[in-house]
Structure 1
Amino acid sequence: MLNNLLKFPKLSSEFKLNISQPTAMYDIAIHLRSIMQEATTTNGSLVVLCIGTDRSTGDSLGPLTGTKLRSFNSYPHIYGTLDEPIHATNLNDTVKSIQKNISHPFIIAVDACLGRTESVGCVSLGRGPLKPGAAVHKDLPSVGDAYITGIVNVSGFMEHLVLQSTRLNLVMKMADTIAHAISYGLRTYTKP
């Protein structure tokens, strides 16, 4: 298995898996390292932007992930924690600040999302920007060069209420898995 962890697979447009899989953390880390290799190729500084609020259980995935990453003390460019969440009212200013203060940032955006019943508990990872707030019909700018989203509940009806009533246990497990995957991916990554 270690040999598999050291390879950089080609990442299709999106990689998706359920966090209950025993190798979920390692699988996310492997695909994340593929994205980091791309960032290094373009001379970018890696930034993890964790989007969400602590005022809604379902939408707290980003800030919980950011807080866990900060506690690992594994990487300096982490934005969005429970103490300082990145949400609809400060997202634009935060992205402008990142662009101004970090040379050629390669932003990995982390956010919660809603999806189909069979996808709840899954994490998606891919290249390209993330459209935060789409589930609750907010018009926010797309952010990131890559994304990690956690499907925390079912979409389709009364999304604000669905996010409010999302099980904290699921969100915590997802945040743990994502934070450990990012941390492991950063620790084991070596520049090509």
Structure 2
Amino acid sequence: MSVPSMPCYVAYTDPAASMRLANRFGAYFNRLPPRRRIVVVCIGTDRCTGDSLGPLTGTLLSKYRSPDFEIYGTLEHPVHAMNLADTMDELYARFDDPFIIGIDACLGQAASIGAVLIGDGPLRPGAGVNKELPPVGDIHVSGVVNIGGLLGYQALQTTRLHLIMSMSGLISRSLLVGIRMSSGRAIETPAMHGY
């Protein structure tokens, strides 16, 4: 699968953010065989505001039904450090050659807070808080939720919920539009409003 290797990087406040992200998702999906299952792995926990970007995105995506994507990681059933390896084993046992999208929060520079990045290759979950976990994804979506540094976990604890809700809404909407835009894929959606 040949796609541009430059990451797509947008601020969640950018009026064109949803379309830019949807176009990038669509570029990936248009190159997939229709039979290849899209699996979205949303990493994080609802016990920490900054780390809830993944599970909240998974919960928003779970409102939509499609034969073309599967979701792992919601607020009700999060995928986190304690069950990530088992989840990935289950996923690979269930699906033959899935196209995995890893979604997770990350820490960065103050000027980058609120940025969403889609890039080639896997996520490295836990890197911002010095945890070594299995890499996840053929592509990854990272949302910069707070400032990185020595106090990584404390930064995640003090992240604003409004930011997380806004970013997860943007990611879920963009992913759904990207699936709609790609050939041979369709989703059933309720009204797309809210976050």
Q: Which residue of 2 aligns with 1:4?
A: none
| Aligned counterparts of 2:158 and 2:65: Cα–Cα separation in 1 | 31
Task: Using the TM superposition, give the Cα deviation of residue 176 of structure 1 relative to its aligned residue in structure 2, in angstroms.
Answer: 0.3
RMSD: 1.8
Q: Which residue of 2 aligns with 1:132?
A: 125
Does 1:64 find its partner at 2:56?
yes
| Aligned counterparts of 2:130 and 2:33: Cα–Cα separation in 1 | 34
Task: Using the TM superposition, give the Cα deviation of residue 189 of structure 1 relative to its aligned residue in structure 2, in angstroms.
Answer: 1.4
| Aligned counterparts of 1:51 and 1:160: Cα–Cα separation in 2 | 15
Q: Which amino acid aligns with 2:168?
A: A
Q: Which stretch shifts more, 52-61 or 31-40?
A: 31-40
| Aligned counterparts of 1:175 and 1:14: Cα–Cα separation in 2 | 19
Maintained 8 Å contact 2:40/2:72: yes
Q: Which residue of 1 aligns with 2:182?
A: 189
| Aligned counterparts of 2:52 and 2:105: Cα–Cα separation in 1 | 8
**Match for 2:166 among 149, 173, 189?**
173
Which structure is higher in helix share? 1
TM-score, length of structure 2 as denominator length = 0.89
| Aligned counterparts of 1:137 and 1:39: Cα–Cα separation in 2 | 34
**How many residues of Structure 1 are paired with residues of Structure 2 in the alignment?**
183
**Match for 1:54 among 34, 46, 54?**
46
Maintained 8 Å contact 2:37/2:69: no
**Counterparts of 1:20-169 in structure 2 under 5 Å?**
20-40=13-33, 44-74=36-66, 76-169=69-162
Match of 1:40, SS state, is coil
Cα displacement string for residues 49-80 of structure 1 (whole angstroms, at most 9, x for unaligned residues): 10000000000000000000001334540110
Match of 2:178, SS state, is helix
Unpaired runs of at least 5, structure 1 = 1-8
Unpaired runs of at least 5, structure 2 = 186-195
| Aligned counterparts of 1:106 and 1:98: Cα–Cα separation in 2 | 11
| Aligned counterparts of 2:97 and 2:28: Cα–Cα separation in 1 | 15
Cα displacement string for residues 98-156 of structure 1 (whole angstroms, at most 9, x for unaligned residues): 10101111100000000011110000001111100000000101111000110000001
TM-score, length of structure 1 as denominator length = 0.90
Maintained 8 Å contact 1:11/1:31: no
